[in-house]
């Protein structure tokens, strides 16, 4: 049986076991199996596929295939889910739901049938919605409902678009649609519907209304799942549907979409600058950075597209790291407001320096992962419009300003009076963060293997 089948089915089986025996150690070990298989069978990953007649009467196939791009996103899921399970609150259903989400994300990133793609796209909302209701802040249920309403509103016409493509072309196969859909009379309407769904889930400005409350009220693990993985589903959708199936139309709309994404970059950065709460600051920083990734996809340039795909993976790693240290800081302070305490480097030196390292990665310090991705996007933008690249570079300055001001205010002002809860991170917590440190440095110093995979997409 193909590798792609096993990495999909193992988390599903594991979730069933965890419904009956909710043990963290068991959940982490089972979630690591797909990652170990991907590493052990790396040479067999690209091209691994299965295809079965799922609903023969309407031509729906359970078709999964791993190409070089989907492999990168599958690796991201395989890394982030175990880290999330190590910090998630053990509550009824949480561990099992996380494994269900892992399987659905694996399915989504490898689906080669549009109906199956849509099924996974909608199904992944269920475990996330339930997890937000179970664990998080006092207003988590309101935030979860707002999140669900936005997601459904953004995707409500998507099924109609899928059916429109099917009746026009006669197939759900993404391979066939990429060669036949360009001549459909109402292709622009179909692409617009897909882009709306992707814009809400990523989110692209101004469809981000669900993000601040969802990121703030969700638990640390829930926020990581939303920011590091759910947002990548939208970015992947833009690439897989927009660029592969409707390239001519997307290129025609490029100036308009580029303007919206750039507005989102600066809106997120300026709003992050104005925050007095460090969890909301990171949430708006994430909004700015995912819109920057979309800038790379909307610029019709190979370097920019490569940079956007790389930066999507980088963002998943870096935002996980940032919300991880933010969550640990909040556990010790019992609040997330900026201002009441300062000088915490005196009491929490290891957490301080770990935070600084992740902040440096976020602002794209040379030698870290984000530097490579952002450089490629800027190179692509510069080739199309040097003045636009110069204007967009202000984002780097803004990002450094609000991130370093937060670190300065919390860690390096006059020390506050010591509190008993201010205990530095343990060896266990450092070990949880260590894979993220390694990935940030590895991609920053030696990005060639990932860039080679990205170049294989053609």
pTM of the model: 0.93
CB burial readout 73-97, b (16+ within 10 A) else e: bbbbbbbbbbbbbbbbeeeebbbbb
Question: What is the rounded CA–CA span in Å between residue 228 and residue 168?
Answer: 35
Three-state SS for 289-333 is HHHHHHHHHHCCCHHHHHHHHHHHHHHHHHHHHHHHHHHHHHHHH
Q: Hey, how many other C-beta atoms are within 10 angstroms of the C-beta on 246? A: 24
Measuring CA to CA, how many Å separate 97 from each of 12, 31, 145, 291?
10, 12, 18, 28
Task: Look at residue 416 in the predicted model and tell me its pLDDT.
Answer: 66
User: Across residues 23-46, what is the average pLDDT?
Assistant: 88
Q: Could you give phi then psi for residue 61, rounded to 5 degrees? A: -110, 140
What's the pLDDT at 126? 92
65, containing H or E segment:
strand 60-65
- The per-residue DSSP string of 318-387 comes to HHHHHHHHHHHHHHHHS--BSSS---GGGT-HHHHHHHHHHHHHHTT-TTSHHHHHHHHHHHHHHHH-HH
| Residue-level pLDDT at 182 | 64
Under the banding of pLDDT at 50, 70 and 90, the label for residue 153 is: confident
Nearest to 194 by CA among 236, 251, 146: 236
pLDDT in tens, 363-413: 989 999 999 999 999 999 999 888 988 998 888 889 999 999 999 988 887
CB of 105 closer than 8 Å to CB of 188: no
The predicted-structure confidence for 194-205, as pLDDT tens digits, reads as follows: 898 889 888 988
**Residue whose entry in the numeric block shows the structure tokens 């099917």:** 166
The model's pLDDT over 312-353, given as tens digits with 9 standing for 90+, comes to 999 999 999 999 999 999 988 888 888 888 778 888 899 999
State the Cα–Cα distance between residues 197 and 381, nearest whole angstrom.
25
Report the pLDDT value the prediction gives residue 169, as an integer from 0 to 100: 81
User: What proportions of the chain, in percent to the nearest 5, are helix, strand and coil?
Assistant: 75, 5, 20
Comparison of pLDDT for 357 and 53, the residue scoring more: 357
* Pairing status of strand 49-55 against strand 60-65: antiparallel
Condensed to tens digits (0 to 9), the pLDDT of residues 273-284 reads: 999 999 999 999
Structure tokens given for 228: 């590091």
Residue appearing with tokens 């549907």: 241
Average pLDDT over residues 181-209: 84
* 84: alpha, beta or left? (left if phi > 0; alpha if psi -120 to 50): alpha
CA 418 – CA 79 distance, rounded (Å): 36
pLDDT greater than 90 at residue 419: no
Backbone angles phi, psi at 336, to 5 degrees: -125, 15
């Amino acid at each position: 049986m193909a590798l792609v089948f096993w990495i999909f089915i193992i988390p599903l089986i594991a979730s069933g076991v965890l419904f009956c025996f909710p043990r963290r150690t068991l959940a982490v070990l089972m979630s690591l199996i797909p990652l170990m298989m991907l590493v052990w069978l790396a040479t067999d990953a690209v091209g691994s596929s299965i295809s079965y007649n799922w609903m023969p009467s309407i031509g729906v196939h359970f078709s999964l295939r791993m190409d070089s791009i989907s492999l990168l996103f599958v690796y991201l899921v395989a890394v982030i889910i175990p880290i999330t399970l190590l910090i998630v609150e053990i509550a009824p259903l949480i561990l099992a739901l996380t494994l269900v989400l892992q399987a659905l994300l694996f399915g989504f990133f490898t689906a080669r049938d549009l109906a199956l793609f849509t099924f996974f796209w909608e199904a992944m909302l269920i475990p996330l919605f339930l997890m937000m209701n179970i664990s998080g802040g006092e207003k988590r249920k309101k935030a979860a409902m707002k999140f669900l309403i936005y997601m459904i509103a953004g995707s409500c016409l998507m099924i109609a678009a899928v059916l429109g493509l099917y009746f026009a072309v006669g197939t759900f196969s993404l391979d066939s649609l990429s060669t036949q859909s360009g001549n459909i009379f109402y292709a622009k309407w179909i692409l617009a519907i897909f882009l709306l769904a992707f814009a809400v889930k990523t989110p692209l400005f101004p469809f981000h209304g669900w993000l601040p409350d969802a990121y703030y009220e969700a638990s640390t693990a829930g926020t990581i799942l939303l920011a590091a993985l759910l947002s990548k589903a939208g970015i992947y959708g833009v690439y897989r549907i927009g660029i592969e199936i409707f390239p001519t139309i997307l290129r025609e709309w490029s100036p308009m979409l580029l303007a919206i994404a750039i507005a989102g970059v600066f809106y997120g950065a300026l709003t992050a600058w104005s925050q007095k709460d460090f969890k909301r600051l990171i949430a708006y920083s994430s909004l700015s950075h995912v819109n920057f990734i979309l800038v790379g996809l909307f610029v019709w340039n190979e370097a920019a597209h490569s940079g956007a795909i790389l930066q999507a993976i980088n963002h998943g790693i870096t935002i996980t790291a940032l919300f991880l240290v933010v969550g640990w800081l909040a556990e010790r302070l019992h609040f997330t407001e900026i201002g009441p305490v300062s000088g915490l480097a005196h009491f929490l030196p290891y957490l301080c320096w770990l935070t600084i390292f992740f902040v440096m990665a976020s602002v794209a310090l040379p030698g870290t992962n984000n530097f490579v991705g952002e450089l490629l996007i800027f190179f692509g933008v510069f080739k199309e419009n040097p003045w636009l690249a110069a204007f967009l570079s202000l984002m780097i300055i803004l990002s450094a300003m609000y991130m370093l001001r937060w670190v300065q205010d919390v860690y390096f002002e006059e020390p506050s009076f010591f509190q008993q809860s201010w205990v530095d991170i343990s060896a266990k917590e450092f070990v949880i963060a260590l894979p993220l440190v390694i990935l940030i440095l590895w991609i920053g110093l030696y990005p060639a293997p990932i860039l080679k995979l990205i170049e294989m997409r053609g």
